């Protein structure tokens, strides 16, 4: 029977919880990016470590600017954590540039994490109102150097279009996109259908090169969905750190993010966040 719980096993008091890392940008508005990831990790009872890649100057109306962290500092954060604390699963979010993508890949390899630690790549390219969070010139490095190392890649429909040139408009094109994305080399590709606003169901399609798995949830009628993609990928990462198989981890993440979207709230003058603390507050 499918798992319908939105909690993961907790470590006994005083014992080390599962250890996960996010490699992501900061959202000064507190809704998305590293802040959303750490919130999800905390809520799901895993120890979250963080390698900051960029600082966005952002509120609910949009991203005004971003500042990239020097590549040796990005690499240093990952190495410092890997060599001491350890990483049982990781996710990437905003990576901003080719140089940062290359530093992440090189460090991932140098620390012996490749092929041993599950890696979820959320290929963040733009904010949900379209401001770029990745230089256009970095798309090739994302596609050719990072995605092939991913256990799972989790694009939304805009990111799919940029990565494989397919406009997803229905089930057939969603399958085409899953095949094309999987051909880039990740173990699993998840095409998130949440932005397909014509449907009353939010359906995500997972593909491992042979079998399709569909994850559907009733669409929640809200414009406040900032941080949804990050929260989903972070929850999947937490479940992978517990050794859940990818389809189970995705099912878990989908249940978790759907609860968070149901709890979304208005904030500022623009698009509010999903409630990453649903169940604890609201």
Question: Nearer to ligand PLP by C-beta: 32 or 251?
Answer: 32
Q: Is 93 in the site for ligand PLP (CB under 6 A)?
A: yes
32 touches ligand PLP (CB under 6 A) = yes
User: What is the tally of helices (H) and strands (E) in the chain?
Assistant: 8, 9
When binding is defined by CB under 6 A, the residue of 6, 20, 23, 33 that contacts ligand PLP is 33
- Decide if residue 127 touches ligand PLP (CB under 6 A): yes
- Asked whether position 226 contacts ligand PLP by CB under 6 A, the answer is yes
Q: Footprint of ligand PLP on residues 175-214 (CB under 6 A)? A: none
Instruction: Write the CB contacts of 112 (distance below 8 Å, at least 6 apart in sequence).
Output: none
Binding residue for ligand PLP, selected from 68, 88, 204, 230, defined by CB under 6 A: 230
Residue 1 CB, shortest distance to ligand PLP, in Å, is 30
Give the whole-angstrom CA distance, residue 6 versus residue 196. Answer: 25
* 128 touches ligand PLP (CB under 6 A): yes
User: Closest Cα partner for 228 from 270, 189, 256?
Assistant: 256
> Angle 33-43/228-241 helices, nearest 10 degrees?
40
DSSP 258-278: HHHHHT----TTSPPBP-TTT
124 contacts ligand PLP (rule: CB under 6 A): yes
Select from 14-22, 25-33, 162-170, 202-210 the region that touches ligand PLP (CB under 6 A). 25-33
According to CB under 6 A, which residues from 40 to 69 bind ligand PLP?
A: 56, 58, 63
Which position's Cβ is nearest ligand PLP? Answer: 33
What is Dmax (Cα atoms) for the chain? 50
Q: State the Cα–Cα distance between residues 24 and 176, nearest whole angstrom.
A: 29
Q: Which is nearer to ligand PLP, 92 or 203 (CB)?
A: 92
Query: Which one of residues 74, 89, 94, 255 is an interface residue with ligand PLP (CB under 6 A)?
Result: 94
Conformational region of residue 82, where left means phi above 0, alpha means psi within -120 to 50, and beta covers everything else: alpha
Q: Are 219 and 199 in contact (CB under 8 A)?
A: yes
Given the rule CB under 6 A, which residues bind ligand PLP?
24-25, 27, 32-33, 56, 58, 63, 93-94, 124, 127-128, 133, 226-230
């Amino acid at each position: 029977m499918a798992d319908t719980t939105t909690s993961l096993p907790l470590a006994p008091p005083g014992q080390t919880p599962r250890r996960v890392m996010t490699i992501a940008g900061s959202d000064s508005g507190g809704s998305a990016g590293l802040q959303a990831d750490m919130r999800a990790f905390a809520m799901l009872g895993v120890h979250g470590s963080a390698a900051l890649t960029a600082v966005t100057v952002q509120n609910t109306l949009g991203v005004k600017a971003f500042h990239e962290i020097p590549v040796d500092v990005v690499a240093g954060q990952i190495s410092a954590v890997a060599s001491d604390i350890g990483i049982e699963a990781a996710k990437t979010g905003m990576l901003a540039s080719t140089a940062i993508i290359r530093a992440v890949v090189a460090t991932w390899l140098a620390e012996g994490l490749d092929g041993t630690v599950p890696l979820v790549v959320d290929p963040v390219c733009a904010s949900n109102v379209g401001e770029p969070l990745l230089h256009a010139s970095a798309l090739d490095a994302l596609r050719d150097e990072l995605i092939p190392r991913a256990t799972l890649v989790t694009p939304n429909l805009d990111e799919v279009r940029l990565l494989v040139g397919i406009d997803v408009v229905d089930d057939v094109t969603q399958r085409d996109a899953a095949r094309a994305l999987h051909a880039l080399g990740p173990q699993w590709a998840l095409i998130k259908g949440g932005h397909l606003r014509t449907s009353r169901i939010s359906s995500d399609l997972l593909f491992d090169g042979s079998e399709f798995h569909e994850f559907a949830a009733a669409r929640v009628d809200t414009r406040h969905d900032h941080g949804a993609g990050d929260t989903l990928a972070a929850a999947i990462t937490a479940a992978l750190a517990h050794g859940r198989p990818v389809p189970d981890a995705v099912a878990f993440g989908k249940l978790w993010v759907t609860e968070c979207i149901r709890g979304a709230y208005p904030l500022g003058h623009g698009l509010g966040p999903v409630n990453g603390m649903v169940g604890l507050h609201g």
